Every structure is written in structure tokens, then in C-alpha cells.
Amino acid sequence: MLQHLTDFCRRFYQSLQATGWYKEIIGAGLALLLLILLIDIIRRRKKAEKWPAAETRADPAQTEETSSGQPADFHEIPGPEPEQEIEQPGPAGAETHPSPAAEPVAPEPASLMDRLKTGLGKTRKSLAGRLEQAFADKNVLDRQNMEEIEEALITADVGMDTTMKLIGRIEANAAQISGPEQLRTFLKQEMRKVFENVAQPAPVAETPHVVMVVGVNGVGKTTTIGKLAFQYRCQGAGVLIGAADTFRAAAVEQLTIWAQRADAAIVAHRENTDPAAVAFDTVEAGISRSIDRVIIDTAGRLHTKVNLMEQLKKIKRSIGKKLPGAPHEVLLVLDATTGQNALAQAKMFHEGIGVTGLILTKLDGTARGGIVVGICDAMKLPIHYIGVGEAMEDLQPFDHEAFIDALF
């Protein structure tokens, strides 16, 4: 292109020498040539920006972590010191010891109620709206709004049996209820009776106090164990976690991350090791180190319900063999969003291994918060904790008074 322009300009210059105007025209021609060159440069730069060179990518084979370095048959991964790198497991057969670390800071009590109200917002909005609608154009109870109240309780997943009990109590006290405010007050009173009729968790006396955590996969069991460890650490207790879910892929790695966040130590074996052996060694380590709280994770899914229950029974026997009377608590983790399926799971686990208490998770993601009332009424088991968010401090010790206030 430039060669053609040069030839053209040269011939044009020779022809103009005869006219005498060549100086003026030469200046204009040079200016035109520079303009063309500038346009060409700009065009090339825009093209380069539109089609940038491909970025160099790392070879996956070089970045992928290998699984050849299995953890030792028994090792402990301690929680990290603040502002320091996480201590890695030593060679096969070796143990590492946790360094002293600052205890986690417990959340402010004033913020707990706020989180509870926020977490139960969906349930409160749905239930309160339906109760208001039941008295939209009347201030007395009749067949129509009784059906609407019944529907509101069932929709909140209070459960059919508990709902019918509450409806019976409302009908028996209809003269005292003349509007939504009186109805809410009455329901609060009746729900308090449900929780007060359930035995509350006994205070911790044994050291180590062994807690066996059970539940099906997908309910947030591993996450709950990490948050439970955090709660114990905030109380000043030393915590040791046993990774006895040895068959689920990446279960140990996931639990290790949560243990480190909670500043708790963890005992783990090789993948596919007998879970009962992990539980035994964890309790043994807890005794030798004078640990305050020992938490045992367990599998949540095997080929059949029978196989799962038999494995859990074996773990429970193994713990008791090392420390008579343990586990002191068997806590069942349930997903509140599953509603009445959670009640079915509670019955299955309680019949299989004997559950001592419940933890309900994901209450912040459902309008079915009434399951807390229904499951407590049906199972007569205390609820130890409820999950109302994803943060560490969002696993709350269950307070039925605060729960009822947040529900309405």
C-alpha cells in the first residue's frame, strides 16, 4: 500500500513541476500521506485489542493435587494459630500437637435475637399473614376462619397431629379470642406448653464429654459440627473432632477445614477405614489430652437403612468400650426445609440408635419453621441448636421463648 502511494506521489510531483504549483501541492500531499498512515496505525491497534493473544494456561497435570500422599493411619490435624500457616500432618504414624490459639470471640447476645428474627422471617411473614387474613372481615371465630387457621398452621409445617391439638384448644377457648392479636397470644401460650413438656438437656459433667452427631447426607451435618465446635470453643472448652465419615468423598477434607475455622483439633484415619476405629481413637486421644468436648462425625448414607443403623450402633459401642457411659449425647441433625420428612428421619434414627437431642438447620431458608414445634411435640426430644444462617455464629442454642417471639 505504501509503495503504491509513493509511486503515485512521485509521478504527480513530476507533472506538477511544469505547472509551478508543485510546492503548495507537495505540502498538501504530504499531509494527506501522514493522515493515511495514522488511520492505518489506529486500525491495526483496534484489531489487536479485539483479538488479544491467548493467555498462557497452567498445565492441569502440574496444578492438580495428587492423592498419593494419604494421611497417616492415625494422625491429628490441629487448629491453626492466628496469623500463621496451618500446620500440616506429619509423616505416617506421626502426631502433631496443636499450638495455643486465641479462643474465638462469642457473638454479642443482643445480636442473637436479631439473627433469629431474620432467620425466621419467611415463616413469620407467612404465618402472620394467614392469621391476619382469617380475621379480615370479622372479630369472632367461626367455621370458616377456623379452617383458615388450620391451613395456616399446616402450611407452616407444624404437623397434622400438633395442628389438630392446637385447633382443639382454640375451639375450647373461642370466647377469649376475638381477633388476630388474641389468637397470636393464645398460640404462643400453647406452644410454650409443648416445649415445657420436653425434658431439657442435662448440664455437661463428664470430661471428656462425648457428642455423637448423626443425620442423613445433605442436612448440613459437617457444617453443623464445625459450628458446634465453634460454640464450645467460645465457651472456653477444648474441642477434638473425630472424622468417622470415612467413605464419603472429601468428607475428611471438608471437616478439617471447618475444624480449623473453629480452632478445634481433628483426628482422621485413611479413607475407607472402619469408622468405629476412628471413634475409638478419637475418644482415646480426648482422654489422654484431657479434652473437654469430643465430637464424633458419622456417615449419613449407606446402601440400605439397615446398614447405616448397624454402622452407627457399632460406632456407639466402640465409644462406650473406651469410655463407659459415652457417648453422653447423640444429636440428630435435621434439615428444616424438608418439613415432615425431617420428622420421619427423627423417628428412624431414634428407633435405630436412641437420639438424645435435635439440631435443626436451614431455618432461615424456609417458611416451614413450624416444624420445630411439630417435631418437638411428636418426638418429645429436646432441641439443642437451630441454624438460622451460614455464618459460624448462626448456629444458635435453642431458646423456646426467643423462638416463639421470633415466630410471631
Kindly list the distances between the CA atom of residue 261 and the CA atoms of 101, 141, 209, 289, 292, in Å, as whole numbers in the listed order.
Answer: 12, 53, 21, 21, 18
CB within 8 Å of 337: residues ≥ 6 apart: 362, 365, 366, 368
- Alpha helices, DSSP H only, in 98-177? 109-119, 121-134, 143-155, 160-172
Place of cell 484489531: 47
Annotated binding site for GTP: 215-222, 297-301, 361-364
CA distance from start to end of the chain: 81
Q: How far apart are CA 100 and CA 88, in angstroms?
A: 16
Tell me the three-class secondary structure of 282-298, residue by residue. Answer: HHHHHHHCCCCEEEEEC
Q: How far apart are CA 82 and CA 104, in angstroms?
A: 10
CB environment 126-140: b (16+ within 10 A), e (fewer): bbeebbeebbeeeee
CA 401 to chain CA centroid, Å, is: 25
Contact (Cβ atoms closer than 8 angstroms) between residue 191 and residue 373? yes
Place of cell 457411659: 325
Q: How far apart are CA 156 and CA 167, in angstroms?
A: 14
Q: How far apart are CA 373 and CA 403, in angstroms?
A: 10
Annotated binding site: 215-222, 297-301, 361-364
CA 52-58-60 angle, to 5 degrees, is: 130
Please choose, from the candidates 281, 296, 197, the residue with its C-alpha nearest in 3D space to the C-alpha of residue 244.
296
Contact (Cβ atoms closer than 8 angstroms) between residue 381 and residue 356? yes
Residue 342: all three cell numbers together: 425431617
Residue 142: all three cell numbers together: 367461626
